[in-house]
Amino acid sequence: MPMLSAVTAARQILTSLHEVMASRAGAQAKLNQIVEVIGENLDSEVCSIYLLREGMLELFATRGLNQAAVHVTRLAVGEGLVGTIAGNVETLNLAEAAAHPDFAFRPETGEEKFHSFAGVPIVRRERAVGVVAVQHVEPRRYEEVEIEALQTVAMVLSELIANAELIDDEEVLGVPAHLTGPDRIKGLTLVKGLASGIAVFHQPRVTIEHVVAEDTEAERQRVYLAFDKMRQQIDRMASQAEFGMGGEHEEVLETYRMFAYDEGWSRRINEAIDSGLTAEAAIERVQQRTRMRMRQIDDPLLADRMHDLEDLSNRLLRIVSGQLGTAATMGLKGDAILIARNLGPAELLEYDRRRLKGVILEEGSLTAHVVIVARAMGIPVVGRMRALRGKVREGDHLLLDGDQGVVDVRAAPSLIEAFEARFARNREKQAHYAMAPASPC
């Protein structure tokens, strides 16, 4: 494509997409128009949209591939390049698609003459519900301008397909009704200790309902106000943290605070607003770029800092959208075990320390900043529990064993009794050591 600025390219595409979205055409007709818009603006020989239906990624619209393949070509999540993008919720940018180990040829599409390939996931509530991809005969890697344009399209498509109910119903949040018996889930010990309480899910991600801005300056002002409010929250939290002075946790909180004031981050969000996005969509697009970089980072320290930026982005999104996000906002009703995919240090500090007894992370690492702060607060943490959401309901009783790295769900009364006895013995030991006189030097 001729090299335009990222702002100009994205604005041209958004203007065209806005017209498509505002039309009275049906959902399929809009998808057919969208692949033409992308093809024309990116000078792309192929543009295709795949959507998740009946558990498979189905070709819904294409410009450049055989039209007979529409609603015929289907790929499993994890199968082929499209399935890999959806399965990993990641972007692919390939000069030679057939050289990729996950390449899967579909003869009905007529794609054998196209060499280069780029695709981005269409994300709705943290899961990939489709993929938008472009292809060219000429082997080449795509420019960052083109990838960002595809990401913008994916955000618009997320809004369109949700409104048109084109994809499978949300299945992620539900736990099968028959799962009522006890279960034991193994994870990784991050902070030792024992805890008993009711399962509380930290937050759903903010759902972005509107992507295209009506008034760019109004969106910019919304972001400025949200940044001011977020920084005030962070400053207040850091000054009111309920643990002693000194230690690694103070450095973690100061690093987190520095991210909140980072000018580069706010500038990138402003550039996305200049391209014609709403405040929410601009924050999300910058956040998507951060997630892409996180997947390429091997340095644990840098990865932890990227997680902090993800946490701050979530906070900024909640403020600018006015959506109440975390369970901390609602208040804990009793002894609770918090469940989250990941958690930032400031988000942990928002919870009522008297009622928050433990934390379970679907991801998490020993060096994660939230783990350092939890250790300073004396809150046990178990991580690497990816299968958790399919086994635990909100309100289930949990026994968290941070010493062994296991969580018991809906435990039998005998196991609860044994756990409470062990918990009592641990408290007695801690009280004994706290009261013991210091040995003479």
Helix (H, G, I), strand (E, B) or coil at 215: coil
Which has the closest alpha carbon to 406: 337, 352, 345? Answer: 337
The pTM (predicted TM-score) of the whole model is: 0.66
Confidence of residue 177 (pLDDT cuts 50, 70, 90): very low
- Per-residue pLDDT tens for 21-59? 888 888 899 999 999 998 888 888 999 999 998 889 999
> Mean pLDDT over all residues of the chain?
83
The average pLDDT across 209-213 equals 81
- Per-residue pLDDT tens for 230-279? 898 888 876 766 555 556 777 777 777 888 888 888 999 998 898 888 99
The pLDDT value recorded for residue 289 is 75
- Per-residue pLDDT tens for 155-167? 888 877 777 666 6
Asked if 166 contacts 27 with a C-beta cutoff of 8 angstroms, the reply is: yes
Confidence of residue 175 (pLDDT cuts 50, 70, 90): very low
Q: Which residues contact 94 (CB under 8 A, 6 or more apart)?
A: 81, 100, 116, 117, 118, 141
How far is the C-alpha of 356 from the C-alpha of 360, rounded, in Å?
Answer: 11
DSSP 112: G
The correct answer on CATH 3.50.30.10 for the domain covering 183-203+327-435 is: yes
Asked if 421 contacts 407 with a C-beta cutoff of 8 angstroms, the reply is: no
Confidence of residue 171 (pLDDT cuts 50, 70, 90): very low
Asked if 415 contacts 182 with a C-beta cutoff of 8 angstroms, the reply is: yes
The fourth-level CATH superfamily of domain 6-164 is GAF domain (3.30.450.40)
The average pLDDT across 210-224 equals 91
- Per-residue pLDDT tens for 87-108? 988 899 999 999 999 999 999 9
Helix (H) or strand (E) holding 359: strand 356-361
Confidence of residue 220 (pLDDT cuts 50, 70, 90): very high
The pLDDT value recorded for residue 429 is 77
The pLDDT value recorded for residue 151 is 86
The pLDDT value recorded for residue 252 is 76
Q: Count other C-beta atoms under 10 Å from residue 184's C-beta.
A: 13
What residue spans define the domains of the chain?
A: 6-164, 183-203+327-435, 216-321
Asked if 375 contacts 191 with a C-beta cutoff of 8 angstroms, the reply is: yes
Which has the closest alpha carbon to 57: 73, 35, 36, 33? Answer: 73
Fold of the domain spanning 216-321:
Enzyme I; Chain A, domain 2 (1.10.274)
- Per-residue pLDDT tens for 271-290? 889 888 899 999 988 887 77
Confidence of residue 329 (pLDDT cuts 50, 70, 90): low
Token pair listed for 177: 């009704």
The pLDDT value recorded for residue 128 is 87
Which has the closest alpha carbon to 293: 316, 310, 278, 277? Answer: 310
